[in-house]
Chain A
């Protein structure tokens, strides 16, 4: 087996504002070439922080306290800012969550798309615009010229998300991080966008790190899953294994709490207090183990 494209090893982070409250607790995962890897968890699980750490954009009040992020064998955390920017600009891209805030409302689409192409690929204005048009066609936009000359508010949510996906995949990165890319969309549009991401990913052999709180969505697009709770990996494995034969109690509880239209009585059982206590104990044990070496 080749080396994975992305390997996060034992990554830990704390929030400086909350008295060093841990946000990530020794998270490890790997994403192979061409793999779509899902990071699942509820809010506060640390999914966003993990994605931001890989992109090098963690907020100032968050501090990484240990571990490594290896991209194609090089630890991103040890690179110089310049080298890091080169890698991020060329090889790692982001599809953000909210299409309405990720685009600049006062600039046309063609300007925003060609920005990246010109700066990171050194294309001329004309070349960049041609490429932008081709990108929009690739994401199945039927009237790319109209979209290019539009402002974001003139486009629907689904259309905007297609533009962002075009921007992300357009630079042919090796890794795309999709941060809840369909959460703000209608369910029928969501399916179309998921289909699009999958087809682009397959065509270009891109690895995708897919962050979501929705187990249904990751079931349809991800090859492997990592389940996070309070910054700690609760379960990891192939999507089929994790969903049909979950081993950790948290995963089981998460599945049970998800309402399903084909099973009317699901989704009404809240997580039991016993399970929450057990989870808290597990987290506390981890924190204690981390603190120990300092005392030694």
Chain B
């Protein structure tokens, strides 16, 4: 489609293959089996699944952090599947990532200022450190963090503030595509609401394409236009959120949606689906 920014076809990834650091292994077990996915410009797509679904691996493969065993990835019309690190560098500016654990995704020995300024300088978005700092201050204002955050270390911030820094780092390079990997999973409901609200506003303002990985279907429903449901390395169902949630086509999707406990009293909820109980066997 003309409006697609990121398109992956037949993407397959084997366990243990990290780009460029290991010798190739022929018969390593597959984590992703021929996944197709597309994200349009400015579109928010949710990638949902339980543990072992391969959603995190899919995200990293899209960003070129994991080498695919098969398949192709196109970004803005160009084939980026087999690029080496040097060719990939200009691309990195256009595709960014936000992580689940801000504590481990922000270098504990760097100040927030350094974490935000260095990417700006690396990609030449500012000529001097002072200019970069001005840019960074602008982004900090936008995500609602005080300016003295630049002098702080990650351990001095609260969970919600750290996640805002993660968001700031992802958008400071003005990318076209952002991958958010379980970014609200460890947060309180009220902090989660703040972060989601901020993300939704930013994607609108900056016309960002967003791939939102989550195990929480309710969160995905609140900010995504389309959703991709994954199970054990395969896409089980895909489509607009409205349709998938109202009338899920796949049995697995139905089971997943039904397992979500809504905050309403529903005496029959526990008994539903008891026939397919399988944890006692694994």
A-side residues, CB < 8 A to B, are 42-43, 139-143, 155-159, 162, 186-195, 198, 213-217, 219-221, 239-240, 243-244, 253-255, 257-262, 264-271
Within the complex, what minimum Cβ distance (angstroms) separates B28 from chain A?
Answer: 21
**Neighbouring B residues of A194 by C-beta, 8 Å:** 261, 270
From known contacts A143-B281, A195-B271, A213-B189, infer whether A186 and B266 are also in contact, taking CB-CB under 8 Å. no
In the complex, identify which listed stretch (B16-24, B147-155, B170-178, B216-224) lies at the interface while the others stay far away: B216-224
The stretch of B131-139, B161-169, B192-200 that contacts the partner chain: B192-200
- A265-B262 contact, Cβ under 8 Å, with A140-B277, A195-B270, A254-B189: no
11 additional contacts (CB under 8 A) given A159-B282, A220-B266: A140-B280, A143-B281, A158-B279, A158-B282, A159-B279, A188-B255, A213-B189, A240-B265, A244-B264, A260-B218, A268-B223
- A43 and B188 in contact, given A187-B259, A188-B255, A260-B262 (Cβ under 8 angstroms): yes
Judging by beta carbons under 8 Å apart, are B262 and A190 in contact? no
Q: Once the chains bind, are B197 and A270 in contact (CB under 8 Å)?
A: yes
B120: min CB distance to chain A, Å: 28
Give the docked Cα–Cα distance between A239 and B241 (Å).
30
**CB < 8 Å: which of A244, A255, A261 contacts B221?**
A261
Q: Are A214 and B222 in contact (CB under 8 A)?
A: no
**Are A253 and B188 closer than 8 Å at their CB atoms?**
no
B238-282 at interface with A (beta carbon < 8 Å): 241-242, 245, 255-266, 269-271, 273-274, 277-282
Chain B residue at smallest Cβ distance from A139: B280
Give which listed residue, A189, A216, A253, contacts B279 with CB less than 8 A: A189
Contact assessment for A188 and B218 in the assembled complex, using a CB-CB cutoff below 8 Å: no
Residues of B with C-beta under 8 A to A193:
279
User: What residues of A have a CB within 8 angstroms of the CB of B274 in the complex?
Assistant: 195
Interface residues of B (CB under 8 A from A): 50-51, 188-190, 192-194, 196-197, 200, 215-223, 241-242, 245, 255-266, 269-271, 273-274, 277-282
Given contacts A191-B261, A258-B263, contact A271 B190 (CB under 8 A): yes
A213 touches B188 (CB 8 A): yes
Contact between chains at B263 and A219 (CB < 8 Å): yes
Q: Which of B51, B262, B278 contacts A262 (CB 8 A)?
A: B262
Residues of A with C-beta under 8 A to B188: 42-43, 213
